[in-house]
Structure 1
């Protein structure tokens, strides 16, 4: 038991160090160098920064002062890390927001118009291909057939279903539930906790990895926003913030896409197991009839 507790404590300490202390120490170093020493006017003056560090290092300090400074740096780094964690929670909620406010509705409307235009172009291409293959229209038309596959990719890049959220990530997670409902008539929100219990450890580990990747991306965005605050005193910090938030956005999109695919795959692979676990007869494939029965059962009349 002691060995287990020791190993658990070691892992918690490593996670605390990697997620809070080290990024926080880097942030404090940038804040001290850029916002305190260099400022806007001397943003590139590394010689001035080196002279300042030499003066600080030349001061005589007792052991007590060193311990206090080290402790303050450790606590400060952890404190900044906790702030970044809190900001990352807001970022994650913003990425997945329903967006019912004025700005959210405007962004949703803009995305919906783009999707509808791409969907119309795709449908027109399908119709033209069908007309040409059936020999309808002008018989002498020798132009290439419309590239419906490319137009489908363009439409699906906006969203797999008609958009109803202001961000791509929010719509991608919503699309997972929409697609499951269309394919199986199953309410994914009601079914997911039970489906999770039916899944093997390997499948749950894959989904947990994708969730962890999304959380990591939102933390990176949180750090980027904190670096943006330093731009008030040292403008290059704004460049750091933009690069960091941009990288976080890309990682968040990739993690969201992976997570949504895994959620849909879980229903495809283990929906039948869920139906059987709840007493439904499902000897062969999982059908919309099974999904509708599960939905009525799991909603419990709600």
Structure 2
């Protein structure tokens, strides 16, 4: 038990250092260097920055002063890290938000219109292809139109953001394929899947949260651009990278969740006592939903 608690404390300390202290210390260092030392005109003055660093740890300062500086730096970095973590949580909720407010409804309607146009193009080309007969050029065009539609959303959009719709599309696609209620299915399926599958899903979910926190850090650097303009570049690059990687993480999470239903839905049906001699089908999915929702 002592070894377990020691290992747990070590991991907690590592996460505290990695997620809060180090990014917070970097932010405080950039803030101090850019705002207090460099400014717009001397944004590249490395010599002035080196002089400021030497003055902090100069020989005239005692060990106690340096130690107090390190302690306050750690506390300040932790406070900034907690604030950035809270902002990251807000960013994640914004990425996955539902329709709330006039702006969200407008964005959802705009995305739905784009999807409808792309879907109509795909269906028109599909009918034309079936009428003309299948050949390589038509198949290539159909694939391109389908990819263009699914790039907006695999199903008709219902949320203002791509990430929110990509995650939501999983439950709708599962329902259309197996006639099963994903909200009722998932908690039970989680208990049936192997540990390796759970680890992959947890890693994908953690990656999405991590990118949201990174976006939050990017927002933190934006106000500093008023005193040191390179901070604005740092903010823009950080937010763009976090947004791009967040889209990838959301798509990965959705694909893994849907794949889990495909692979382990039959196992769950058998554990519930549903006769599943063949593949996991709509009839079996409907029976599983009836049992899980306690509809009688």
What band does the TM-score fall into relative to the shorter chain? over 0.9
The match for 1:171 is 165
The 4+ residue runs of structure 1 with deviation greater than 4 A are: none
The match for 2:10 is 10
How far 1:100 sits from its partner (Å)?
Answer: 2.6
Provide, for residues 127-176 of structure 1, a one-character-per-residue CA deviation record: whole Å limited to 9, x for no partner: 22122229xxxxxxxxx647111111111111100111111110001110
- Match of 1:162, SS? coil
| Residue 35 (1) aligns with residue 35 (2) | yes
The match for 2:51 is 51
Provide, for residues 248-278 of structure 1, a one-character-per-residue CA deviation record: whole Å limited to 9, x for no partner: 1111111111110111111111111111222
The match for 2:102 is 102
For residues 280 and 235 of structure 2, what CA distance do their matches in structure 1 show?
48
For residues 180 and 56 of structure 2, what CA distance do their matches in structure 1 show?
65
The match for 1:266 is 260
- Match of 1:283, SS? coil
The match for 2:156 is 162
Per the normalisation by structure 2, the TM-score is 0.94
| Residue 297 (1) aligns with residue 275 (2) | no
How far 1:54 sits from its partner (Å)?
Answer: 3.5
The match for 1:64 is 64
For residues 248 and 38 of structure 2, what CA distance do their matches in structure 1 show?
37
Provide, for residues 102-146 of structure 1, a one-character-per-residue CA deviation record: whole Å limited to 9, x for no partner: 111111111111111111111111122122229xxxxxxxxx647
For residues 180 and 36 of structure 2, what CA distance do their matches in structure 1 show?
57
Is 2:121–2:145's contact at 8 Å kept on the other side of the alignment?
yes
| Residue 151 (1) aligns with residue 135 (2) | no
Q: 1:124-203 maps to which residues of 2 (within 5 A)?
A: 124-133=124-133, 145=138, 147-203=141-197
Provide, for residues 198-242 of structure 1, a one-character-per-residue CA deviation record: whole Å limited to 9, x for no partner: 101111111111111111111111111111122232222111111
| Residue 231 (1) aligns with residue 232 (2) | no
- Match of 2:160, SS? coil
Over 3 Å counting, the alpha-carbon distance change for 1:185 and 1:269 in structure 2 is: same
For residues 69 and 282 of structure 1, what CA distance do their matches in structure 2 show?
66
How far 1:190 sits from its partner (Å)?
Answer: 1.3
For residues 217 and 57 of structure 2, what CA distance do their matches in structure 1 show?
29
For residues 51 and 252 of structure 2, what CA distance do their matches in structure 1 show?
49
Structure 1, unpaired ranges of 5+: 135-143
Structure 2, unpaired ranges of 5+: none
How far 1:59 sits from its partner (Å)?
Answer: 5.8
The number of residues matched between the two structures is 293
**Which of 206, 223, 231 is residue 212 of structure 1 equivalent to?**
206
Is 2:34–2:43's contact at 8 Å kept on the other side of the alignment?
yes
Single out whichever of 205-214 and 47-56 deviates more from structure 2: 47-56
